């Protein structure tokens, strides 16, 4: 008599059989709040894609900048005044789904354009901060204990000065994150110079290690209110959505860098790193092909935290008049326009305010769920 053995499938796989990504997917599916956040984010991402298509061009399907003064301050779900509005200015469906503002502009069309801008700013800015953070965190985590001497310090000083001249003579503290990357690049070039046999005598004058430079840069960055640094940089730059993305990204490197540094500090002594080093792997190969990919969990969690922060920063800048230039719409400048008509047209503040609340909450719920799902000590619910 033979005994039939059932093979576990799908979510019934034992913990030791699951791959890391299968375990993460299983844990995420069991977290209802994380899944709710993920569905909401997918919905807003779809709205952003729709907004990119529907509000672009000279004759968009939904026009966010068309002025219809006869229909100013129309409440949500109001019909168009066909006797006063030109036929070419009538919105789709012949109604204002979210009402109109003080100039008769369609709030639904402006919210679509604002969703597009919010998502673009969030993901592009976080992408920039991730690149800088991974570079700096990877170098700090791997070379943290390495002593550097005069040549490295000289490079760390000269590279930021050169970077300042390259960016039109801006004061260095306006670009602290970028200068941080330049400082690291200078320090690394100095370490290479000191490794040359003819300059080996410089090693006798070691002064400080790489991790100390990283900690000092992080402390300097954190000592300034980030939003006011962004506001100062935006105020002296030409108004542009691309400038907003770049500046927010440049000032958001600290979180990803600290996450990556912490992960690499725990990974660099693992046996697989020793094996890769034994077969002749270079430092850069070890960092970017072995250590950084194994620290992606920290990077992804940091990204889910950084995107809502970037969206809030852009909304704050636009609310203060330093963000997206008119006539383009963003959630922040819709709020700014509505603050003067809080009692006459409350939907001007309620609708974008609720949108910001939902998106930020969804990112936080999904990020928390992702952090728990990527925790190797997490247990199935």
Instruction: Check: CB of residue 334 under 8 Å from CB of residue 110.
Output: yes
Q: Examine residue 321 and state whether it is found in any structural domain, yes or no.
A: yes
**Nearest to residue 156, comparing CAs of 182, 137, 132?**
182
Q: Examine residue 91 and state whether it is found in any structural domain, yes or no.
A: no
**Nearest to residue 94, comparing CAs of 111, 103, 102, 106?**
106
Q: Examine residue 254 and state whether it is found in any structural domain, yes or no.
A: yes
Whole-number Å distance between alpha carbons of 341 and 335: 10
208-209/78-79 β-pairing: unpaired
Q: Each residue of 156-198: pLDDT tens digit? A: 444 444 444 333 333 333 344 444 454 455 555 555 444 544 4
- Ranking 93-97, 142-146, 264-268, 331-335 by mean pLDDT, the lowest is 142-146
Find out whether the peptide bond into 337 is cis, omega within 30 degrees of 0.
Answer: no
pLDDT recorded at residue 89: 84
Whole-number Å distance between alpha carbons of 160 and 169: 11
Most confident of 3-17, 127-141, 261-275, 332-346: 332-346
Place of tokens 């672009």: 56
Cβ atoms < 10 Å from Cβ of 273: 19
Q: Examine residue 156 and state whether it is found in any structural domain, yes or no.
A: no
Helix (H) or strand (E) holding 209: strand 208-209
CATH code: domain of residue 47: 1.10.3720.10
Instruction: Check: CB of residue 143 under 8 Å from CB of residue 266.
Output: no
Range of the domain at 122: 38-65+105-145+226-373
3-state secondary structure of 95: strand
Q: Examine residue 93 and state whether it is found in any structural domain, yes or no.
A: no
Please state the rounded mean pLDDT for residues 294-307.
Answer: 81
Count of domains forming the chain: 1
3-state secondary structure of 106: strand
Whole-number Å distance between alpha carbons of 62 and 59: 9
Rounded (10°) CA dihedral 259, 42, 116, 364 = -40
At residue 220, what are phi and psi to the nearest 5 degrees? -65, -45
Q: Examine residue 361 and state whether it is found in any structural domain, yes or no.
A: yes
pLDDT recorded at residue 253: 84
Please state the rounded mean pLDDT for residues 104-119.
Answer: 92
Q: Each residue of 315-366: pLDDT tens digit? A: 998 898 888 887 888 999 999 888 888 888 899 999 999 999 999 999 999 9
- Choose between 161 and 66: higher pLDDT: 66
Q: Examine residue 58 and state whether it is found in any structural domain, yes or no.
A: yes
Q: Examine residue 261 and state whether it is found in any structural domain, yes or no.
A: yes
Whole-number Å distance between alpha carbons of 322 and 317: 5
Region at 10 (left for phi over 0; alpha for psi -120 to 50; beta for the rest): left
**Nearest to residue 95, comparing CAs of 114, 82, 111?**
82
Residues near 26 by beta carbon (within 8 Å), at least 6 away in sequence:
11, 18, 380
- C-alpha distances (whole Å) from 347 to each of 164, 320, 340 are 45, 19, 12
């Amino acid at each position: 008599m033979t005994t039939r053995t059932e093979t576990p499938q799908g979510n019934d796989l034992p913990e030791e059989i699951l791959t890391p990504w299968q375990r993460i997917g299983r844990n995420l599916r069991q977290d209802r709040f994380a899944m709710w956040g993920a569905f909401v984010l997918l919905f807003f991402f779809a709205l952003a894609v729709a907004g990119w298509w529907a509000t672009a061009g000279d004759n968009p399907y939904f026009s966010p900048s068309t002025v219809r003064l006869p229909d100013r301050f129309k409440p949500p779900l109001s019909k168009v005044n066909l006797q006063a509005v030109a036929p070419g200015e009538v919105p789709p469906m012949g109604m204002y789904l979210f009402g109109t503002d003080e100039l008769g502009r369609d709030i639904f069309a402006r919210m679509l354009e604002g969703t597009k801008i919010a998502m673009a700013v969030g993901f592009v800015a976080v992408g920039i901060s991730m690149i800088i953070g991974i570079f700096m965190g990877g170098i700090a985590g791997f070379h943290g204990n390495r002593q550097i001497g005069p040549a490295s310090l000289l490079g760390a000083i000269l590279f930021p000065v050169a970077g300042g001249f390259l960016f039109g003579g801006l004061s260095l503290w306006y670009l602290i994150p970028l200068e941080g990357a330049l400082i690291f690049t200078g320090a690394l070039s100095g370490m290479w110079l000191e490794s040359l046999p003819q300059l080996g005598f410089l090693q006798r004058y070691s002064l400080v290690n790489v991790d100390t430079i990283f900690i000092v840069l992080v402390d300097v960055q954190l000592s300034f209110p980030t939003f006011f640094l962004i506001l100062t940089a935006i105020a002296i730059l030409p108004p542009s959505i691309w400038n907003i993305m770049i500046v927010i990204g440049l000032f958001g490197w600290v979180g990803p860098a600290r996450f990556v540094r912490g992960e690499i500090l725990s990974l660099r002594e693992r046996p697989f790193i020793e094996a890769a080093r034994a077969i002749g792997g270079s430092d850069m190969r070890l960092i970017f092909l072995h250590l950084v990919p194994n620290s992606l969990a920290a990077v992804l969690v940091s990204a889910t935290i950084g995107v809502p922060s970037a969206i809030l920063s852009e909304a704050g800048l636009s609310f203060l008049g330093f963000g997206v230039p008119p006539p383009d719409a963003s959630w922040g400048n819709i709020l700014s326009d509505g603050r003067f008509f809080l009692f006459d047209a409350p939907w001007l503040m309620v609708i974008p305010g609720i949108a910001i609340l939902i998106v930020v909450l969804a990112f936080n719920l999904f990020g928390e769920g992702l952090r728990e799902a990527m925790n190797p000590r997490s247990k199935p619910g």
